[in-house]
Amino acid sequence: MVVDNFLRRAHHLQRGTDSLMPITPLADRIAAWRQLAGREIQSEVVDICDYPRLRGIIESFAPDTIIHYGEIPSAPYSMISRDHAWETQRNNVEGTLNVLFAMHEVAPNAHLVKLGTMGEYGTPNIDIEEGYIDIEHNGRTDRLPFPKLPGSFYHLSKVHDSHNLHFACRIWGLRATDLNQGVVYGIHTDETELDDRLLTRFDYDELFGTALNRFCVQSVIGHPITVYGNGSQTRGFLNIRDTLQCIELASRNPANQGEMRVFNQFTETFSVMQLATEVCDAANALGYNARIEHCDNPRVELEDHYYNPTHTGLIELGLKPRLLSDELIETMLHTVERFKDRVSLRAIDPATTWR
Protein backbone atom coordinates (compact mmCIF):
# COMPACT_ATOMS: atom_id res chain seq x y z
CA MET A 1 0.00 0.00 0.00
CA VAL A 2 1.15 3.51 -0.85
CA VAL A 3 0.14 6.55 1.21
CA ASP A 4 1.06 9.81 -0.48
CA ASN A 5 -0.11 13.42 -0.54
CA PHE A 6 2.07 14.38 -3.55
CA LEU A 7 3.78 17.13 -1.61
CA ARG A 8 6.92 17.09 -3.76
CA ARG A 9 4.82 17.46 -6.89
CA ALA A 10 3.09 20.40 -5.20
CA HIS A 11 6.43 22.02 -4.34
CA HIS A 12 7.62 21.68 -7.94
CA LEU A 13 4.30 23.09 -9.15
CA GLN A 14 4.69 26.10 -6.88
CA ARG A 15 8.21 26.79 -8.09
CA GLY A 16 7.60 26.03 -11.76
CA THR A 17 10.13 23.20 -11.80
CA ASP A 18 9.84 19.47 -12.39
CA SER A 19 11.61 16.13 -12.52
CA LEU A 20 13.84 15.57 -15.57
CA MET A 21 11.73 12.60 -16.63
CA PRO A 22 7.96 13.06 -16.34
CA ILE A 23 6.37 11.31 -13.37
CA THR A 24 3.08 9.71 -14.32
CA PRO A 25 0.10 9.92 -11.97
CA LEU A 26 0.17 7.37 -9.16
CA ALA A 27 -2.92 5.61 -10.55
CA ASP A 28 -1.10 5.05 -13.86
CA ARG A 29 2.01 3.77 -12.13
CA ILE A 30 -0.11 1.34 -10.14
CA ALA A 31 -1.85 0.23 -13.35
CA ALA A 32 1.54 -0.31 -15.03
CA TRP A 33 2.73 -2.44 -12.15
CA ARG A 34 -0.49 -4.47 -12.18
CA GLN A 35 0.05 -5.11 -15.89
CA LEU A 36 3.76 -5.92 -15.65
CA ALA A 37 4.02 -7.74 -12.33
CA GLY A 38 0.47 -8.92 -11.81
CA ARG A 39 0.47 -7.30 -8.37
CA GLU A 40 -2.10 -4.94 -6.91
CA ILE A 41 -0.86 -1.94 -4.91
CA GLN A 42 -3.47 -0.15 -2.81
CA SER A 43 -3.19 3.60 -2.48
CA GLU A 44 -4.53 6.38 -0.29
CA VAL A 45 -4.05 10.07 -1.03
CA VAL A 46 -3.58 11.20 2.55
CA ASP A 47 -1.35 13.65 4.36
CA ILE A 48 0.27 11.65 7.15
CA CYS A 49 0.03 14.79 9.30
CA ASP A 50 -3.71 14.00 9.41
CA TYR A 51 -3.49 11.70 12.42
CA PRO A 52 -7.01 10.23 12.49
CA ARG A 53 -6.79 9.19 8.84
CA LEU A 54 -3.25 7.82 9.13
CA ARG A 55 -4.19 5.84 12.22
CA GLY A 56 -7.27 4.44 10.46
CA ILE A 57 -5.21 3.29 7.48
CA ILE A 58 -2.57 1.63 9.63
CA GLU A 59 -5.23 -0.04 11.76
CA SER A 60 -7.11 -1.51 8.81
CA PHE A 61 -4.12 -2.40 6.63
CA ALA A 62 -2.20 -3.88 9.61
CA PRO A 63 1.28 -3.62 8.03
CA ASP A 64 4.23 -5.83 9.00
CA THR A 65 6.59 -3.12 7.77
CA ILE A 66 6.13 0.61 7.37
CA ILE A 67 8.62 2.27 5.03
CA HIS A 68 8.53 5.96 5.80
CA TYR A 69 9.69 8.12 2.90
CA GLY A 70 7.09 10.84 3.53
CA GLU A 71 9.28 13.83 4.33
CA ILE A 72 10.38 17.06 2.71
CA PRO A 73 13.98 16.18 1.74
CA SER A 74 15.68 19.45 0.81
CA ALA A 75 18.28 21.40 2.76
CA PRO A 76 18.12 24.51 0.52
CA TYR A 77 14.30 24.48 0.52
CA SER A 78 14.36 24.61 4.33
CA MET A 79 16.74 27.60 4.25
CA ILE A 80 14.65 29.87 1.99
CA SER A 81 12.74 31.56 4.82
CA ARG A 82 11.19 31.09 8.23
CA ASP A 83 8.08 29.69 6.58
CA HIS A 84 10.06 27.10 4.61
CA ALA A 85 12.11 26.15 7.66
CA TRP A 86 9.01 25.62 9.74
CA GLU A 87 7.07 23.91 6.94
CA THR A 88 9.92 21.39 6.71
CA GLN A 89 10.26 20.78 10.44
CA ARG A 90 6.52 20.71 11.04
CA ASN A 91 5.77 18.36 8.16
CA ASN A 92 8.61 15.96 8.93
CA VAL A 93 8.41 15.89 12.71
CA GLU A 94 4.61 15.78 12.91
CA GLY A 95 4.37 13.11 10.21
CA THR A 96 6.88 10.86 11.94
CA LEU A 97 5.33 11.48 15.34
CA ASN A 98 1.98 10.41 13.87
CA VAL A 99 3.49 7.20 12.50
CA LEU A 100 4.93 6.45 15.95
CA PHE A 101 1.65 7.10 17.78
CA ALA A 102 -0.30 5.03 15.24
CA MET A 103 2.16 2.16 15.67
CA HIS A 104 1.92 2.42 19.46
CA GLU A 105 -1.87 2.46 19.37
CA VAL A 106 -2.75 0.03 16.59
CA ALA A 107 0.38 -1.71 15.20
CA PRO A 108 2.85 -2.21 18.06
CA ASN A 109 4.62 -5.14 16.36
CA ALA A 110 5.15 -3.50 12.98
CA HIS A 111 8.71 -2.66 11.96
CA LEU A 112 9.31 0.94 10.95
CA VAL A 113 11.97 1.58 8.30
CA LYS A 114 12.58 5.30 8.47
CA LEU A 115 14.70 7.40 6.17
CA GLY A 116 17.23 9.53 8.05
CA THR A 117 20.25 11.23 6.55
CA MET A 118 24.02 11.16 6.94
CA GLY A 119 23.64 14.94 7.23
CA GLU A 120 22.45 14.45 10.81
CA TYR A 121 26.04 13.87 11.88
CA GLY A 122 27.59 16.81 10.03
CA THR A 123 31.36 16.64 9.78
CA PRO A 124 32.79 16.02 13.25
CA ASN A 125 36.51 15.60 13.68
CA ILE A 126 36.14 11.95 14.78
CA ASP A 127 35.02 8.77 13.02
CA ILE A 128 31.23 8.65 12.64
CA GLU A 129 29.62 5.47 14.01
CA GLU A 130 26.24 4.02 13.10
CA GLY A 131 23.86 5.91 15.36
CA TYR A 132 25.53 5.23 18.69
CA ILE A 133 28.99 5.66 20.18
CA ASP A 134 30.67 4.04 23.19
CA ILE A 135 31.92 6.91 25.32
CA GLU A 136 34.42 6.52 28.12
CA HIS A 137 34.39 9.54 30.38
CA ASN A 138 35.96 10.03 33.81
CA GLY A 139 36.38 6.29 34.23
CA ARG A 140 32.83 5.28 33.33
CA THR A 141 31.36 4.14 30.02
CA ASP A 142 28.03 4.23 28.22
CA ARG A 143 26.75 3.62 24.71
CA LEU A 144 24.92 6.81 23.74
CA PRO A 145 23.37 8.41 20.66
CA PHE A 146 26.10 9.77 18.40
CA PRO A 147 26.23 13.60 18.78
CA LYS A 148 24.62 15.48 15.92
CA LEU A 149 25.81 18.57 14.01
CA PRO A 150 23.17 18.97 11.29
CA GLY A 151 23.76 21.61 8.65
CA SER A 152 20.27 22.92 7.74
CA PHE A 153 16.75 23.18 9.13
CA TYR A 154 15.93 20.14 7.01
CA HIS A 155 18.78 18.09 8.46
CA LEU A 156 17.65 19.27 11.89
CA SER A 157 14.16 17.88 11.21
CA LYS A 158 15.75 14.45 10.76
CA VAL A 159 17.67 14.85 14.02
CA HIS A 160 14.40 15.69 15.78
CA ASP A 161 12.83 12.61 14.19
CA SER A 162 15.67 10.40 15.37
CA HIS A 163 15.25 11.56 18.96
CA ASN A 164 11.47 11.05 18.86
CA LEU A 165 11.96 7.63 17.28
CA HIS A 166 14.55 6.56 19.84
CA PHE A 167 12.21 7.59 22.65
CA ALA A 168 9.26 5.67 21.17
CA CYS A 169 11.40 2.53 20.92
CA ARG A 170 12.75 2.93 24.47
CA ILE A 171 9.41 3.76 26.13
CA TRP A 172 6.85 1.87 24.09
CA GLY A 173 8.98 -1.01 22.85
CA LEU A 174 8.44 -0.18 19.18
CA ARG A 175 10.99 -1.42 16.69
CA ALA A 176 12.55 0.71 14.01
CA THR A 177 15.46 0.98 11.62
CA ASP A 178 16.74 4.49 10.99
CA LEU A 179 18.56 4.57 7.66
CA ASN A 180 20.96 7.50 7.62
CA GLN A 181 21.18 7.76 3.91
CA GLY A 182 23.93 9.44 1.95
CA VAL A 183 23.42 11.34 -1.30
CA VAL A 184 21.61 9.23 -3.88
CA TYR A 185 22.62 9.30 -7.55
CA GLY A 186 21.42 7.42 -10.61
CA ILE A 187 18.33 7.27 -12.74
CA HIS A 188 17.30 3.69 -13.33
CA THR A 189 16.26 0.71 -11.28
CA ASP A 190 15.25 -2.73 -12.57
CA GLU A 191 11.64 -1.54 -12.42
CA THR A 192 12.03 1.78 -14.23
CA GLU A 193 13.73 -0.05 -17.10
CA LEU A 194 10.58 -2.12 -17.64
CA ASP A 195 8.30 0.74 -18.61
CA ASP A 196 8.49 4.54 -18.89
CA ARG A 197 5.36 4.78 -16.76
CA LEU A 198 7.49 3.54 -13.87
CA LEU A 199 10.24 6.16 -14.28
CA THR A 200 11.15 7.62 -10.93
CA ARG A 201 11.89 11.18 -9.95
CA PHE A 202 15.17 12.75 -11.06
CA ASP A 203 15.46 16.28 -9.72
CA TYR A 204 18.18 18.54 -11.05
CA ASP A 205 17.05 21.95 -9.73
CA GLU A 206 18.93 23.85 -7.01
CA LEU A 207 16.46 22.86 -4.29
CA PHE A 208 15.79 19.16 -4.80
CA GLY A 209 18.62 18.07 -7.11
CA THR A 210 21.73 16.38 -5.69
CA ALA A 211 25.36 16.77 -6.73
CA LEU A 212 26.09 14.02 -9.27
CA ASN A 213 22.64 14.15 -10.89
CA ARG A 214 22.88 17.92 -11.27
CA PHE A 215 26.36 17.67 -12.76
CA CYS A 216 25.13 15.25 -15.44
CA VAL A 217 22.28 17.56 -16.44
CA GLN A 218 24.57 20.60 -16.44
CA SER A 219 27.10 18.83 -18.69
CA VAL A 220 24.47 17.78 -21.23
CA ILE A 221 22.81 21.20 -21.56
CA GLY A 222 26.12 23.07 -21.76
CA HIS A 223 25.86 24.73 -18.35
CA PRO A 224 29.07 24.85 -16.29
CA ILE A 225 29.24 22.20 -13.56
CA THR A 226 28.45 24.17 -10.38
CA VAL A 227 30.86 23.31 -7.57
CA TYR A 228 30.07 25.19 -4.35
CA GLY A 229 33.27 26.67 -2.91
CA ASN A 230 36.46 24.70 -3.36
CA GLY A 231 34.56 21.40 -3.64
CA SER A 232 36.55 19.50 -1.04
CA GLN A 233 33.34 18.88 0.96
CA THR A 234 33.14 15.08 1.28
CA ARG A 235 29.97 13.04 1.67
CA GLY A 236 28.72 9.47 1.44
CA PHE A 237 27.02 8.51 -1.83
CA LEU A 238 25.09 5.54 -3.16
CA ASN A 239 23.40 4.34 -6.31
CA ILE A 240 19.59 4.51 -6.37
CA ARG A 241 19.56 0.74 -6.97
CA ASP A 242 21.42 0.26 -3.71
CA THR A 243 18.91 2.36 -1.76
CA LEU A 244 16.24 -0.16 -2.78
CA GLN A 245 18.50 -3.05 -1.83
CA CYS A 246 19.04 -1.44 1.60
CA ILE A 247 15.32 -0.90 2.21
CA GLU A 248 14.66 -4.52 1.28
CA LEU A 249 17.46 -5.83 3.50
CA ALA A 250 16.27 -3.75 6.46
CA SER A 251 12.69 -4.92 5.95
CA ARG A 252 13.59 -8.60 5.67
CA ASN A 253 15.79 -8.41 8.76
CA PRO A 254 13.73 -6.32 11.18
CA ALA A 255 15.01 -4.66 14.34
CA ASN A 256 14.05 -6.21 17.66
CA GLN A 257 11.15 -4.90 19.71
CA GLY A 258 12.35 -1.89 21.67
CA GLU A 259 15.33 -1.36 19.37
CA MET A 260 16.05 1.67 17.23
CA ARG A 261 18.65 0.21 14.89
CA VAL A 262 20.69 2.70 12.90
CA PHE A 263 22.51 2.04 9.63
CA ASN A 264 24.62 4.50 7.67
CA GLN A 265 23.28 3.90 4.18
CA PHE A 266 25.95 4.76 1.63
CA THR A 267 28.58 2.78 -0.26
CA GLU A 268 31.42 5.24 -1.02
CA THR A 269 32.61 8.70 -0.03
CA PHE A 270 33.61 11.31 -2.59
CA SER A 271 34.45 14.97 -2.48
CA VAL A 272 32.22 17.19 -4.59
CA MET A 273 35.27 18.01 -6.72
CA GLN A 274 35.94 14.32 -7.40
CA LEU A 275 32.39 13.85 -8.66
CA ALA A 276 32.54 17.01 -10.76
CA THR A 277 35.79 15.84 -12.35
CA GLU A 278 34.44 12.37 -13.11
CA VAL A 279 31.30 13.74 -14.73
CA CYS A 280 33.26 16.39 -16.63
CA ASP A 281 35.67 13.80 -18.04
CA ALA A 282 32.92 11.33 -18.96
CA ALA A 283 30.89 14.07 -20.66
CA ASN A 284 33.84 15.34 -22.64
CA ALA A 285 34.67 11.79 -23.72
CA LEU A 286 31.14 11.63 -25.16
CA GLY A 287 31.71 14.87 -27.08
CA TYR A 288 30.03 17.36 -24.74
CA ASN A 289 31.79 20.58 -23.92
CA ALA A 290 31.73 20.26 -20.12
CA ARG A 291 33.65 22.46 -17.69
CA ILE A 292 33.72 23.03 -13.95
CA GLU A 293 32.92 26.40 -12.36
CA HIS A 294 33.46 27.16 -8.68
CA CYS A 295 30.74 29.43 -7.35
CA ASP A 296 30.51 31.14 -3.97
CA ASN A 297 29.33 28.51 -1.54
CA PRO A 298 25.70 29.34 -0.75
CA ARG A 299 25.90 27.11 2.31
CA VAL A 300 27.64 27.66 5.60
CA GLU A 301 29.70 24.49 5.93
CA LEU A 302 33.26 23.32 6.39
CA GLU A 303 34.86 22.74 3.00
CA ASP A 304 38.06 21.12 4.30
CA HIS A 305 37.23 18.58 6.97
CA TYR A 306 37.83 15.07 8.25
CA TYR A 307 35.23 12.50 7.14
CA ASN A 308 35.30 8.84 7.99
CA PRO A 309 31.86 7.37 8.63
CA THR A 310 31.34 3.68 9.39
CA HIS A 311 28.97 1.79 7.08
CA THR A 312 29.26 -1.89 7.88
CA GLY A 313 25.77 -2.72 9.15
CA LEU A 314 24.07 -3.08 5.78
CA ILE A 315 27.07 -4.90 4.29
CA GLU A 316 26.73 -7.41 7.14
CA LEU A 317 23.06 -7.87 6.19
CA GLY A 318 24.17 -8.71 2.64
CA LEU A 319 24.34 -5.43 0.71
CA LYS A 320 26.27 -5.87 -2.55
CA PRO A 321 27.28 -2.32 -3.47
CA ARG A 322 27.14 -1.15 -7.05
CA LEU A 323 30.00 1.33 -7.00
CA LEU A 324 30.23 4.46 -9.12
CA SER A 325 31.69 3.76 -12.57
CA ASP A 326 32.35 5.62 -15.82
CA GLU A 327 29.80 3.32 -17.40
CA LEU A 328 27.09 4.42 -14.95
CA ILE A 329 27.85 8.07 -15.58
CA GLU A 330 27.72 7.47 -19.33
CA THR A 331 24.34 5.76 -18.99
CA MET A 332 23.08 8.69 -16.95
CA LEU A 333 24.32 11.16 -19.56
CA HIS A 334 22.51 9.18 -22.29
CA THR A 335 19.24 9.26 -20.35
CA VAL A 336 19.62 12.98 -19.63
CA GLU A 337 20.22 13.53 -23.37
CA ARG A 338 16.90 11.84 -24.10
CA PHE A 339 15.00 14.23 -21.82
CA LYS A 340 17.15 17.37 -22.13
CA ASP A 341 14.40 19.43 -23.78
CA ARG A 342 12.54 19.30 -20.47
CA VAL A 343 15.35 21.02 -18.56
CA SER A 344 14.57 24.50 -17.20
CA LEU A 345 17.74 26.59 -17.20
CA ARG A 346 16.17 28.90 -14.63
CA ALA A 347 16.27 26.13 -12.02
CA ILE A 348 20.00 25.34 -12.21
CA ASP A 349 21.96 28.07 -10.43
CA PRO A 350 21.96 28.15 -6.63
CA ALA A 351 19.71 30.99 -5.45
CA THR A 352 19.20 30.03 -1.80
CA THR A 353 21.86 31.00 0.70
CA TRP A 354 22.36 29.88 4.27
CA ARG A 355 23.06 33.47 5.40
Residues designated as active site? 117, 154, 158
Question: Angle at CA 322, nearest 5°, toward 316 and 327?
Answer: 170
The correct pick among 112, 156, 260, 272 for binding its own copies (CB under 8 A) is 156
Q: Which of 34, 170, 252, 338 binds its own copies (CB under 8 A)?
A: 170
Minimum CB distance to its own copies smaller for 63 or for 124: 124
Report the C-alpha gap between 51 and 98 in whole angstroms. Answer: 6
x-marked contacts with its own copies along 47-76 as a string, rule CB under 8 A: ----x-------------------------
Residues 6+ apart with CB under 8 A from 54: 3, 46, 48, 98, 99, 102
Report 185-244 residues binding its own copies (CB under 8 A). Answer: none
DSSP characters over 173-226: --EEEEEEE-EEE-S--TTTTT-GGG------STTT--HHHHHHHHHHHTPPEE
**Collapsed DSSP state (helix, strand, coil) of residue 268:** strand
How many residues would you count in the chain? Answer: 355
Of 159-167, 191-199, 249-257, 275-283, the window that binds its own copies (rule: CB under 8 A) is 159-167
In the three-class reduction of DSSP (H, G, I as helix; E, B as strand; rest coil), residue 17 is classed as: coil
Size of the site for its own copies (CB under 8 A): 47
Among 62, 126, 285, 315, binds its own copies (CB under 8 A): 126
Under the binding rule (CB under 8 A), the answer on residue 96 touching its own copies is no
> Does 107 interact with its own copies (rule: CB under 8 A)?
no
Minimum distance from residue 103 beta carbon to its own copies (Å) = 11
Binding-site member from 1, 2, 27, 90 for its own copies (CB under 8 A): 90
Please give the Cα distance from 260 to 267 (Å, whole number): 22
Helix axis angle for 211-221 and 272-285, nearest 10°, is: 30
* 217: nearest Cα among 13, 20, 9: 20
Q: Does 135 bind its own copies (CB under 8 A)?
A: yes
Site for its own copies (CB under 8 A): which residue of 2, 27, 45, 300? 300
Nearer to its own copies, 25 or 147 (CB): 147
Alpha-carbon distance of 306 to 318, in angstroms, equals 28
Distance CA 27, CA 247 (A): 23
User: Does residue 296 touch its own copies according to CB under 8 A?
Assistant: no
Q: Interface with its own copies by CB under 8 A: which residues?
A: 51, 82-83, 85-86, 89-90, 93-94, 97-98, 101, 124-127, 133, 135-138, 140-142, 144-153, 156, 159-160, 163-164, 167, 170-172, 300, 306, 354-355
